[in-house]
Every structure is written in C-alpha cells, then in structure tokens.
Amino acid sequence: MPRAVSLLLAVAFGVASAACSAGGAPCAGPTCGTGYECLANRCALAGGVPVPRDSERLVLSPIELAVATADHEPSTPEVTLGSAHGGDSFVYARFGSSYKGRAGVAAAFLLLTVSPGTEPTDDVPLEVWTLAADWSANSIARGARPGFSRPMARGIARTSPALPVRVDVTSIVQQFAQSPGDQGIAVVAGGSHGRGVTLVTAAAGAPRLEVYLARN
C-alpha cells in the first residue's frame, strides 16, 4: 500500500476513533467532536436525548450536607474546589432514598451551582465518589473523612461563563437504589487548576440530585 494512502487511512481512523471515544465523556461546551453533542454535560450522539422521554423526574435536596476545607472550616455557604493555593476541599452530601422501591433508575444527575462571584478560570474537572462509610456533618467538622468507593463519576465545571454543573451519576444512584444503605457522595476537584471553581453550598444553591425513573 502506498505510504500516502496509509497515512490518510491512519488519520481517518484516528479521527473516527476520537469521535467514537467522545461518547459518554463529560463536557461543558461544543467539544464532543463530529457526530456528537454536549447533552446534560455529557457527550452523546447528536440528536439524542439525555433521558428517556417518558421517565418520571424527581429533584432531591440534601438531607445531610457538609464541607471540609484545608483550613478545617466546618461549614461555609460556598467552597472552592481545585484551587492551586487552597489545598483539597470536599463537599459531602446525602439525598435520602425516596426513589427506592419504585421503578428503575433510568438516569441521575448531580446539579451544582457555580458562585456568581467566581473569577473566570480554566474549566475544572470534578469527581463524584461514592462514600464507603457513614458520616455526619458533626463527624466531618471533627475532622473525620470517610473513605471513597466506586462507582465514581466525572464532570466539568465551567467558570467563563459561570454555568450550572450537571454530573451524570446514574451508576452511583443505581447502586444506591439496589442497596439497603446510602452513605452519600463526595465531590472533589480532579487536581489543581488555577483559582479553581467556587460552588454554592447554602440552601438556595446547594447541590440537588435529579433522578429519572423509568415508567413501567
């Protein structure tokens, strides 16, 4: 095979592979590649829908919420994740189980609010981990840190402009739905990125859990 043809095939294959691999990747804008679009902050086939059209939507507020920062502040209405100068910070949340015992979980999203006062910076990757042990706001305030477990989910926070963050946590909520307990989740930045992103943790903008139940 002529070298020029081989190179063209290699490039074409690489582009196709990159496009295919975009499916399911977290996104915060038009960065998913040919044939894909950013739906509910996740790359999906263009023209698709992020959730089944006939699903039932539930929006849950935290029944327990705590923040842990590098300087051990027990509670704050906002927290900055991913700052290169602020150390590791975490948001812990538990949302209850009103979706258990009902139809199967078709999709679930963690909704986060970026503070309007956040200074523009690069996109900040976020990780949402399942917690491996029980906790409370008081135990977090005393310095206890429950371990992480899988499944975990990834998302992207965008500060320029400051957009709401939606992280696909379907696999996490499906596991909770099949388990007798629910230790909740932790949100942390996936590394340090400049000034990081500041999230609202007060009542008006605290994390929400959006659950879509399949209709029988």
Instruction: Decide: 193 and 151 in contact? Cβ < 8 Å.
Output: no
Top CATH class, 52-213: mainly beta
pLDDT reported for residue 139: 92
Query: Which pLDDT does position 159 carry in this prediction?
Result: 79
Q: Which residue has the higher pLDDT, 39 or 76?
A: 39
120 is written with which tokens? 């523009």
What average pLDDT does the segment 136-155 reach?
91
Please check the confidence at residue 10 and state whether its pLDDT lies above 90.
no
Taking the alpha carbons of 184, 188, 190, 196 in that order, is the dihedral positive or negative? positive
CB neighbour class for 54 (10 Å; exposed up to 12, middle 13-18, buried from 19): exposed
What pLDDT sits at residue 13?
30
Asked whether the predicted pLDDT for residue 211 surpasses 90, the reply is: yes
pLDDT tens, 102-132? 779 999 999 999 988 777 677 889 999 999 9
**Residue whose pair of structure tokens reads 């709401």 in the numeric block:** 164
Alpha-carbon gap, residue 133 to 118, rounded angstroms: 32
pLDDT for 84 beyond 80: no
Question: What is the DSSP secondary-structure string of 93-124?
Answer: EE---TTTTSS-EEEEEEEE-B-TTPPP-S-E
Contact 81, 124 (CB under 8 A): yes
1 has a pLDDT exceeding 70? no
* Torsion angle, alpha carbons of 125, 130, 132, 137, to 10: 80
Contacts of 116 (CB under 8 A, 6+ apart): 162
DSSP label of 159: B
pLDDT higher than 90, residue 135: yes
Domains of the chain by residue range: 1-50, 52-213
How would residue 19 be classed by pLDDT, with cut points 50, 70 and 90?
very low
So what's the pLDDT on residue 8? 29
Q: Does the structure show a pLDDT above 90 at 91?
A: yes
* pLDDT band (50, 70, 90) for residue 14: very low
The values of phi and psi at residue 194, to 5°, are 60, -125
Give per-residue pLDDT as tens, 34-50.
888 887 777 877 766 67
How confident is residue 51, by pLDDT bands cut at 50, 70 and 90? confident
pLDDT in tens, 158-182: 877 777 899 999 999 999 998 887 8
pLDDT exceeds 60 at position 150: yes
| pLDDT at res. 75 | 56
